[in-house]
Amino acid sequence: MRSNRAKARAGLSMAATLPMLAGALALGIPAAHAADHPLRDLLAGTKPAWATPRADKGAAPDGAAMSARVYLRGRDAAGLAAYAKAVSDPTSASYGKYLTAKQAQARFGATKAQVAAVKAWLTAAGLKATGVTAHYVSVTGDVAAAEKAFGAQLHNFAKGSKTYRAPASTASVPASVADAVLTVTGLDNAPHMVTHDDQLPPPDTVFRNAGPFSSYYGSKTATTLPDAYGTKIPYAVKGYTGKQLRAAYGAGTRTGKGVRVAITDAYASPTIAYDAATYAGKHGDAAWKSGQLHQVLPKKYTNTKDCSAAGWYGEETLDVEAVHAVAPAADVTYVGAASCTDADLLDALGKVVDHHLADIVSNSWGEVEAAQTPDLAAAYDQVFQLGAVEGIGFYFSSGDDGDEVAGSGTKQVDSPANSAWVTAVGGTSLAVGKNDTYLWETGWGTEKANLSADGKSWTDFPGAFTSGAGGGTSRTVAEPSYQKGVVPDALAKANSAGGNRVVPDIAAIADPNTGFLVGQTQTLPDGKTQAYSEYRIGGTSLAAPTIAAIQALAQEARGGKPIGFANPAIYAKAGTKAYHDVTDNPTGSGLAVARVDFVNGYDATGGLATSVRSLGKDSSLSAVKGYDDVTGVGTPANGYVESYRRR
């Protein structure tokens, strides 16, 4: 993520450069000349795309407070990436030869000399080092000191209706510490916040589904409602349970015994233990054993209002209950971030890696690719690569807004799902029939039309797009080797002749209309009483923990040996019977379900709303035979879990 240095400088050791800090480095470099100064290295991506001359509102005040993180490159960044690739590749002699967290840090982490050099340089510029982790040095100070340290003037820029601070040119670091610095974040102070990818109701007011319902797909037909696609349609399911999902995805007798799964989200539900235990007891999942559910939480939380903290409680509940429903014997650790900011979520991911809290990590959150700056992408990728060398696999939901055009105006994918070092999980509409029989799946994409006033037709059928699985072609991430030969060129080369990463990699149930039943303590309409209640839910927030749980079953099948970063193995099975090859309109006749919802979200006092939800209508994205940008290589079939036994 930075420019190459002259060969004469590349061989300098950190020990040789330390004495320079008290002299030349302390002098600083004028910001206007930092980019071309022969003793500085650029940190590519630190000047955000929105910091344009037209948006420039002038220099930020020298005395304005700021804080930043200087991420550490470590001993051997290139070696880390190479080993992460080799250890994850089933065709490599190094496949599965994972390192412990301690070994990974010793081999690839920052040295004491690198940390000392970085701290000395920052202190000499007038910044104060406020913390050191295995991943970064955090600093505070003022704008003048930051300009001196990073060789770039900080200006105020208009971004939408607001103004934020950002570098007016690409930031740089002295060549003497360039080998120690991966990137810097925080020089721009625009919000870097993610959202949970799902269709969650706010838990502060109870949410309930109105009936009628189907208990399995097609069990109850809406005989009094108008036809859709030439036939009577079923009511939406009340919500599938673990038994139905396990049958659909070929769990067999596997339970995830001996496998550790982690979940990262922001904040923490205060009732998760009660809710998870109650839900498991009501729906036939194995009871939680003592010590099977853990929480790793920060000392304090921040940005609770900006991040809508209460909304994350339901996210944790969904993730925990879905993992346990599909892999009931797996050990589950919830790692809560202090807020929904990238910085705090990176800390949560770092905890998983630094302490190897699990082998499989489910993450149901993200932001559009255009909002992720290259400096943050570099910081995320470093954590994912460290995880890979330890045998840790990260699974990210692909998003709930299809191609993102409706929400952002631009066709794009989500991040961190766009990283070449994670498994991006797309979404489907799932039909599980009588006796837990797998009927079909289609790519998740919903169009909604309401019942006419006279009840005889659907208005503007099939209606408008409401939500769908995220996917498409990245504009910033190059095509990884594991996708070549599987992903069609029409997708891989949609944005550049050289090819780019395409999302997702694999998929599972996501459509809220064929969703999962979840149980959560919520506040009743009186605003005072709290009570446990259940509702149907969906989103790729459901798909990610479902796939994570299935991976736990697969790890059990291979004798407990970690799968690690799974994409090379996932793509090696492409086109085989290990997957359901999901396509839109699998029945050939059009698919839809009827829904009756409470207008106020919890009871009939505000009236009822009846609609038809057409399935398999995902914005401009399509689920087709073979790989596609809605469901990836497909969804796990009966042979998927046991296919890992042979490795």
CA distance 488 to 281: 45
Query: Cβ contacts of residue 229 below 8 Å, gap of 6+?
Result: 589, 590, 591, 592
Residue 204 pLDDT: 59
Alpha helices in 2-110 (DSSP H): 7-10, 14-17, 24-27, 77-88, 101-108
Q: What's the chain's average pLDDT?
A: 92
Phi-psi region of 319 (alpha: psi -120 to 50; beta: other; left: phi over 0): alpha
Q: Report the candidate in 209, 230, 239 with the shortest Cα–Cα distance to residue 599.
A: 209
Alpha helices in 5-76 (DSSP H): 7-10, 14-17, 24-27
Count of CB atoms situated within 10 Å of the CB of 85: 21
pLDDT of residue 192: 85
Q: DSSP label at 372? A: S
Tell me the domains of the chain and their CATH numbers: 7-74+110-190 (no CATH), 196-646 (3.40.50.200)
In whole angstroms, what is the distance from residue 67 CA to residue 47 CA?
Answer: 16
Over residues 151-185, the pLDDT tens digits come to 999 999 999 999 999 999 999 999 999 999 999 99
Q: Residue 29: its pLDDT value, please?
A: 32
Which pLDDT tens digit goes with each residue over 209-242? Answer: 999 999 999 999 999 999 999 999 999 999 999 9
**pLDDT score for 193:** 82
For residue 314, with 0-12 CB atoms within 10 Å meaning exposed, 13-18 middle and 19 or more buried, which class applies? buried
Cβ 564 vs Cβ 90: under 8 Å: no
What's the full length of the chain, in residues? 647
Res 99 pLDDT > 80:
yes
**Span 540-564, mean pLDDT?**
97
Q: Which residues contact 617 (CB under 8 A, 6 or more apart)?
A: 445, 446, 447, 462, 465, 468, 584
Q: Cα(257)–Cα(511) distance, rounded to whole angstroms?
A: 28
- Reduced to 3 states, what is the DSSP secondary structure of residue 641? helix
Beta bridge partners of 523: 530
Q: Between β-strands 40-42 and 516-523, what pairing exists: parallel, antiparallel or unpaired? A: unpaired
Q: Is 614 exposed, middle or buried (0-12, 13-18, 19+ CB in 10 A)?
A: buried
Amino acid identity of 632? G
Whole-model pTM: value is: 0.91
d(CA 160, CA 232): 47
Mean pLDDT of 119-139: 97
Radius of gyration over every alpha carbon of the chain, rounded to an integer in angstroms? 25
Which H/E stretch holds residue 163? Answer: strand 162-167
Structure token pair of residue 28: 């600083």
Helices (H), 294-391: 309-326, 342-354, 374-390
Distance of alpha carbon 416 from the chain centroid? 5
Q: Omega before 416 cis (within 30°)?
A: yes
Report d(CA 90, CA 33) in Å as an integer. Answer: 48
Question: Angle 610-614-617 (CA atoms, 0-180°, nearest 5)?
Answer: 145
The sign of the torsion formed by the CA atoms of 231, 237, 242, 244 equals negative
Please write the tens of the pLDDT for every residue from 426-447. 999 999 999 999 999 999 999 9
**Could you identify the residue written with the tokens 């090379």?**
568
Q: Say if residue 539 is exposed, middle or buried (CB neighbours under 10 Å; 0-12, 13-18, 19+).
A: buried
**Which pLDDT score, from 0 to 100, does residue 203 have?**
53
* C-alpha span between 183 and 77 (Å, rounded): 12
β-sheet with 154-159: strand ranges across: 56-59, 154-159, 162-167
Task: Indicate the pairing of strand 365-368 with strand 414-415.
Answer: antiparallel
pLDDT for the residue 1? 31
Tell me, what's the pLDDT at 191? 84
Packing angle of the helix pair 77-88, 101-108 (nearest 10 deg): 140
pLDDT tens digits, 502-516: 999 999 999 999 999
